[in-house]
Structure 1
């Protein structure tokens, strides 16, 4: 399976919240984490995410199949109260 297909499948079939990261330790949401620097195909996955989102950096955060953005985007959603809505 190609990295693009694998990334698409993980987003579609994972938990409601999916994070593609190189390092993420704390969260209140039950989520799937893929540490790209620990995967043999991590660089390919990161390229697939970049094609999908236009964003090469990680974390790449997805909730309910919707791309939320990265860390600063998640923090902004938390400050605005939108994160609660997304997780409700």
Structure 2
């Protein structure tokens, strides 16, 4: 859990992902299209990925990926982020975290 918290706080937007997950790909694409360059941790390519996946599950991530952190705080998974995006509040969250300067 400590490693997840440390990684999640190192950049304005952090995504825990799996390289073969289509929802992870969709979320990463959304952030790139918004002009955000998130830190991405591919759990299936990390030697401690299973450990981090269990920690994310304990945080309430179900499924464990994608898990999105903005400003060091757990925001949710793909559905939550897409809901924020459609309501217009995602950009405000990104601006507040220093990930966007629009």
TM-score of the superposed pair, with normalisation by structure 1 = 0.85
1:66 is aligned to: 73
- Helix, strand or coil at the partner of 1:43: helix
- Helix, strand or coil at the partner of 2:41: strand
Counterpart pick for 1:47 among 51, 54, 59: 54
1:34 is aligned to: 41
**8 Å Cα contact 1:36/1:45 also seen in 2:** yes
Cα distance per residue 1:10-62 (max 9 Å; x no partner): 112x21000001133522311100000111110100101111x2124210000
Runs of 4+ with >6 A deviation: none
**8 Å Cα contact 1:15/1:30 also seen in 2:** no
The RMSD of aligned alpha carbons is 1.3
**8 Å Cα contact 1:36/1:42 also seen in 2:** yes
Please show how residues 2-17 of structure 1 align to structure 2 within 5 Å: 4-12=1-9, 14-17=10-13
